[in-house]
């Protein structure tokens, strides 16, 4: 087992190991205490791991209230969020109790927002079960739901008290969902680590503990330096402004990781054409995306991407910040007027 300590407004530990799910109850009790655990998960993860998680929580002394919602991004709504809050109230959770998010990024983001807001904040444990949620979304405290107007538009910064990444749960993950997580790892490589980018060219299956730990360490370093995204944390948005537009305009039929993959290919193509990086950098990113069978193009139109970006969180007043590569391992934030941004998108697509 490995661990990574995160030093944000709340200090907490991320554990990475095989079989951690069966130890989850004891580890959560040691950090959070409390009497009742609300186990929040989606229907697919519930069938696979709900009983094991509940057994572990009960063995540690928790009374468990389970809430299950239909899987997928289309559930990441105010309606599901409200239903979770009501389930917490009906289970009579107090501020001393704990919410346990078991699942991918959709579960973690939405349950995290419920943990942040129910009674103005209760104990929060993340048990991520997708590669994406292990290497990215479960660490750093961004919680959110989507609004009809766009992705993740309502939420809060709320750090978990503990994160337990049991990589054995990845055994049941369909290949395309595993690959969505690879998109966020490619992103980490492009923005901050040429070394990680090179490692991702090798087969990783026998080395999951190491690769997950490397990615969490990169994310930890970024969020420790800039918890509330006023500076370096913006780099983690590489591929996301265009990616969010693809998710929204595909009605969320394109998964988040795949949309980010396309977003990285488009952003790097635009960057190469605009002279921010050389063509080789764009080709390397495209090749990395292809290696994990992720998509490189979209039929969402430039106008739709531009329209979506005007609703994105990365807009400030009449300007939009895009993260663009300078070379593998180094990205920078570039500030565009709305007209310049529209020109850039037309150049990139």
Ligand X SMILES: NC(=O)c1ccc[n+]([C@@H]2O[C@H](COP(=O)([O-])OP(=O)(O)OC[C@H]3O[C@@H](n4cnc5c(N)ncnc54)[C@H](O)[C@@H]3O)[C@@H](O)[C@H]2O)c1
The C-alpha atoms of residue 240 and residue 236 are separated, in whole angstroms, by 8
Q: Which of 180, 229, 284, 312 binds ligand X (CB under 6 A)?
A: 180
Q: Is 176 a residue of the active site? A: no
Q: What residue is closest to ligand X based on CB?
A: 105
130 in contact with ligand X (CB under 6 A): yes
- Sites for ligand X among residues 199-228 (CB under 6 A): none
Residue closer to ligand X, measured from CB, 71 or 327 = 71
- Sites for ligand X among residues 25-84 (CB under 6 A): 42, 44-45, 48, 71-73, 76
Residue closer to ligand X, measured from CB, 13 or 33 = 13
Minimum CB–partner distance for residue 197 and ligand X (Å): 18
133 in contact with ligand X (CB under 6 A): yes
169 in contact with ligand X (CB under 6 A): yes
Q: Is 54 a residue of the active site? A: no
Question: Are residues 208 and 282 in contact, defined by beta-carbon separation less than 8 angstroms?
Answer: no
Phi then psi dihedrals of residue 75, to 5 deg: -85, -5
Question: Are residues 97 and 147 in contact, defined by beta-carbon separation less than 8 angstroms?
Answer: no
142 in contact with ligand X (CB under 6 A): yes
Maximum CA pair distance of the chain?
Answer: 60
Question: Are residues 247 and 73 in contact, defined by beta-carbon separation less than 8 angstroms?
Answer: yes
Choices 27-35, 97-105, 201-209, 276-284 (CB under 6 A): range interacting with ligand X: 97-105
- Sites for ligand X among residues 254-283 (CB under 6 A): 255-257
Sign of the C-alpha dihedral, residues 282, 287, 289, 290?
A: positive
How long a stretch of residues is the chain?
349
129 in contact with ligand X (CB under 6 A): yes
How is residue 209 written in tokens?
Answer: 């503990």
Choices 207-215, 251-259, 317-325, 337-345 (CB under 6 A): range interacting with ligand X: 251-259
Please name the residues in contact with 307: beta carbons below 8 A apart, sequence gap of 6 or more.
Answer: 245
109 in contact with ligand X (CB under 6 A): yes
177 in contact with ligand X (CB under 6 A): yes
Listing DSSP states for 176-191 in one string gives HHHHHHHHHHHHHHHH
Q: Which of 173, 192, 265, 308 binds ligand X (CB under 6 A)?
A: 173
Tell me whether strands 2-7 and 11-17 are parallel, antiparallel or unpaired.
antiparallel
Please name the residues in contact with 296: beta carbons below 8 A apart, sequence gap of 6 or more.
Answer: 261, 262, 265, 286, 289, 290
Give the residue numbers annotated as catalytic, written as ranges: 120, 142, 184, 219, 229, 233, 237, 240, 244, 256
Residues that bind ligand X (CB under 6 A): 42, 44-45, 48, 71-73, 76, 103-107, 109, 129-130, 132-133, 136-137, 140, 142, 152, 169, 172-173, 177, 180, 255-257
């Amino acid at each position: 087992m490995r661990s990574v300590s995160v030093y944000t407004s709340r200090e907490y530990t991320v554990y990475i190991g095989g079989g951690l799910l069966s130890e989850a109850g004891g580890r959560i009790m040691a950090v959070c205490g409390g009497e009742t655990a609300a186990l929040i998960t989606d229907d697919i993860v519930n069938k696979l791991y709900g009983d094991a998680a509940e057994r572990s929580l009960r063995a540690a002394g928790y009374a468990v209230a389970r809430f299950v919602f239909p899987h997928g991004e289309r559930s990441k709504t105010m309606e599901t969020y409200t239903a979770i809050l009501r389930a917490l109230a009906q289970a009579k959770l107090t501020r001393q109790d704990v919410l346990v998010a078991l699942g991918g990024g959709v579960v973690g983001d939405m349950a995290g927002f419920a943990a942040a807001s129910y009674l103005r904040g209760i104990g929060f444990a993340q048990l991520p079960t997708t590669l994406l949620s292990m290497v990215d979304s479960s660490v750093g405290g961004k919680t959110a739901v989507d609004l009809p107007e766009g992705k993740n538009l309502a939420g809060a910064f709320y750090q978990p008290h503990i994160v337990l990444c049991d990589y054995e749960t990845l055994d049941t993950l369909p290949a395309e969902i595993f690959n969505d997580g690879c998109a966020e790892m490619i992103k980490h490589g492009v923005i901050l680590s040429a070394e990680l980018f090179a490692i991702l060219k090798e087969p990783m299956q026998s080395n999951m503990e190491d690769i997950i730990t490397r990615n969490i360490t990169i994310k930890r370093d970024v969020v420790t330096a800039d918890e509330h995204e006023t500076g370096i944390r913006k780099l983690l948005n590489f591929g996301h402004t265009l990616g969010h537009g693809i998710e929204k305009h595909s009605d969320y039929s394109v998964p988040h990781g795949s949309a980010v993959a396309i977003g990285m290919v488009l952003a790097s193509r635009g960057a190469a054409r605009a002279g921010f990086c050389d063509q080789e950098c764009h080709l390397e990113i495209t090749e990395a995306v292809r290696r994990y069978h992720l998509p490189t193009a979209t039929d969402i139109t430039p106008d739709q991407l531009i329209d979506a970006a005007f609703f994105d969180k990365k807009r400030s007043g009449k300007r939009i910040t895009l993260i663009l590569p300078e070379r593998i391992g180094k990205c920078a934030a570039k500030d565009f007027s709305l007209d310049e941004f529209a020109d850039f998108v037309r150049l990139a697509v």
